[in-house]
Structure 1
Amino acid sequence: MVVGTIKTLIIGASGMLGSDLCKLFPDAFKLTHKELDITNRESVIDWIRKIKPDVVINSAAYTCVDECEDMQELAFQVNGYGPGHIAEACSIFGVKLIHFSTDYVFDGSKKEYVESDVPNPINVYGYSKLFGENKIIENIDDYRIIRISGLFGVHGKNFVGTMLRLSRELDTVKVINDQFGKPTYTMDLASRVKEVIKLDPGIYHITNEGICSWYGFASDIIDNAIPCTSEEFPRKAKRPSYSVLVNTKIEPMRHWKEALKDYLKERKA
């Protein structure tokens, strides 16, 4: 199957981001977790040998940040070794690889991070995703790693959906106001992948524009959010105070407030 003249394979096709990638690449080959377990090296190689794509877009990941603290082996298998297997297979068959990483590879000691900043994760999820980045770089030259932040989309659990649910269930919803990032709509992100495919190998930061705290984000979603500190709302995995990704390599995307409006319309529809 061909997108233009480029045969594309999407791995992790049923996830929140993968589902929107499938909309943007309607003729791509699509593999879900049920069809391909990326932690199985032989299976990864067999599928890529069989399909013979020009480009692999990997959106498969274990993204439950708090669960990763207890499920460290699984986190490193899915987020680390799995991408390494894909990179190895792509290298063997001369395939370009697009892979998604995270703002959580950084520790939050800076207000903003560009692509060349040195990562220093502070939780297992971040360590596992950085390990995946490194396994890709070790195994293939023709890669594009896209670091992303605060994803929301209609095809999976996300912060916006959680806020809407809690707002119905509770009189007030406590939301952390001392962690800052850039919320990103999966459809906007997916729409940029075709552009990144054509760019030079390397690491890219792609998010919607606009910096906010989780409370600031929530306040645009619901009307009964109240601020609290990270200390008042402890979670198993430590989060960076600032995980703001700065894109220095491609044109910026629209503000997250505009993206949120479209997401809410799509969700309602």
Structure 2
Amino acid sequence: MVVGAIKTLILGANGMLGFDLCKAFPDAIKLTHRELDITNRDQVLESILRINPKLVINAAAYTDVEGCEDQQELAFQVNGYGPGYIAEACNKIGAILVHFSTDYVFDGSKKEYVESDAPNPINIYGHSKLLGEKKIIESMDDYRIIRISWLFGTHGRNFVETMLKLSGEIAEVKVVNDQFGKPTYTVDLAHKISELVELDPGIYHITNDGICSWYEFASSFIRNAVPCTSEEFPRKAKRPKYSVLVNTKIEPMRHWKEALKAYLKERNI
């Protein structure tokens, strides 16, 4: 299959990941959340059946981890039931679905997680994303669920942008040094999808290579990061200490340090 030649629909096209997916798939039909409300089953079925794509890439999600704690119903509608409706529509027309999940489906009790490890979320965001995985698996067979972590990209709020802003505003930027994961550049991830679609259906872990703490990540691009513990930086949503995703099924992407250099160059920093 030549992925670029088949009719492709991108949902969540105006988000950080969606923006780079649109660049990677320039001929795709692109819908934002204003154009398609994925929590509306009738609207989802009508739109996808009318467009009749062969490949649907769903980047629509409620990704505010703290916000999910406050707006739990919205989180489960967008991240849980919405993907189920998309999968139902894809199943009706025989389309492949690519959907993005998260490292936060795991509890952090292990240092690394492979695709077959049992999920056990510890916050509402993780629970809602796990529900989305389950709804897709219940609704269709030809899916690719991609668990990703610590996304950064030029088109949206992310950790890198937050740290750069704080670094210019305050003398010391406190960053937790006891949570570990794999930073992932949205450009690299978007360009990996064509390769993924050629592989068997299932769950995949796709991140940039290399493991670090949030503090180590921040220290690689700002000079005034100061380490602190999670206890010193309390937040509403509990975070896993370890959310390192091990990819066992697809060729690894470049190291996050290389990806970060490309990102900073793109941002003219």
Residue number in structure 2 paired with 1:152: 152
User: Could you say what secondary structure the match of 1:155 adopts?
Assistant: coil
Q: Does 2:195 correspond to 1:169?
A: no
Residue number in structure 1 paired with 2:93: 93
Aligned equivalents of 2:13, 2:197: Cα separation in 1: 18
Q: CA deviation at 1:3?
A: 5.6
Residue number in structure 1 paired with 2:232: 232
Q: CA deviation at 1:49?
A: 1.2
Q: AA paired with 2:180?
A: F
Aligned equivalents of 2:42, 2:198: Cα separation in 1: 29
Q: AA paired with 2:92?
A: I
The 5 A counterparts of 1:241-252 are 241-252=241-252
Q: Does 2:26 correspond to 1:26?
A: yes
TM-score of the two chains, using structure 2 as the length reference: 0.98
CA contact (8 A) 1:3 1:25 kept: no
Q: CA deviation at 1:122?
A: 0.2
The 5 A counterparts of 1:163-242 are 163-242=163-242
Residue number in structure 2 paired with 1:265: 265
Q: In structure 2, list runs of 5 or more residues that go unmatched.
A: none
The 5 A counterparts of 1:42-121 are 42-121=42-121
TM-score of the two chains, using structure 1 as the length reference: 0.98
User: Could you say what secondary structure the match of 1:231 adopts?
Assistant: helix
Residue number in structure 2 paired with 1:127: 127
Task: Give identity over the alignment, percent.
Answer: 76
Which deviations, in whole Å up to 9, do the C-alpha atoms of 1:194-216 show, x marking residues without a partner?
A: 11111100000000001000000
User: Could you say what secondary structure the match of 1:57 adopts?
Assistant: strand
CA contact (8 A) 1:3 1:27 kept: no
Q: Which runs of 4+ in 1 moved over 4 A?
A: none
Aligned equivalents of 1:30, 1:46: Cα separation in 2: 16
Q: CA deviation at 1:221?
A: 1.4
Q: In structure 1, list runs of 5 or more residues that go unmatched.
A: none
Q: CA deviation at 1:4?
A: 3.5
The 5 A counterparts of 1:11-22 are 11-22=11-22
Q: CA deviation at 1:5?
A: 2.6
Q: AA paired with 2:106?
A: F
CA contact (8 A) 2:3 2:194 kept: no
> How many residue pairs are counted as aligned between the two chains?
268
Q: AA paired with 2:170?
A: L
Which deviations, in whole Å up to 9, do the C-alpha atoms of 1:51-74 show, x marking residues without a partner?
A: 110000000000000111110000
Q: CA deviation at 1:23?
A: 0.3
Aligned equivalents of 1:23, 1:175: Cα separation in 2: 32
Which deviations, in whole Å up to 9, do the C-alpha atoms of 1:91-122 show, x marking residues without a partner?
A: 01111100000000000000000000000000
Aligned equivalents of 1:109, 1:59: Cα separation in 2: 28
Q: AA paired with 2:229?
A: T
Aligned equivalents of 2:110, 2:78: Cα separation in 1: 28
Which deviations, in whole Å up to 9, do the C-alpha atoms of 1:134-159 show, x marking residues without a partner?
A: 00000010100000000000000000
Residue number in structure 1 paired with 2:138: 138
Aligned equivalents of 1:178, 1:237: Cα separation in 2: 16
CA contact (8 A) 1:3 1:28 kept: no
User: Could you say what secondary structure the match of 2:161 adopts?
Assistant: helix
Q: Supply the RMSD in Å over aligned alpha carbons.
A: 1.0
Aligned equivalents of 1:3, 1:10: Cα separation in 2: 13
Aligned equivalents of 2:56, 2:153: Cα separation in 1: 22
Aligned equivalents of 2:4, 2:231: Cα separation in 1: 51
Q: CA deviation at 1:40?
A: 0.4
CA contact (8 A) 2:115 2:248 kept: yes
User: Could you say what secondary structure the match of 1:91 adopts?
Assistant: helix
Aligned equivalents of 1:209, 1:35: Cα separation in 2: 35
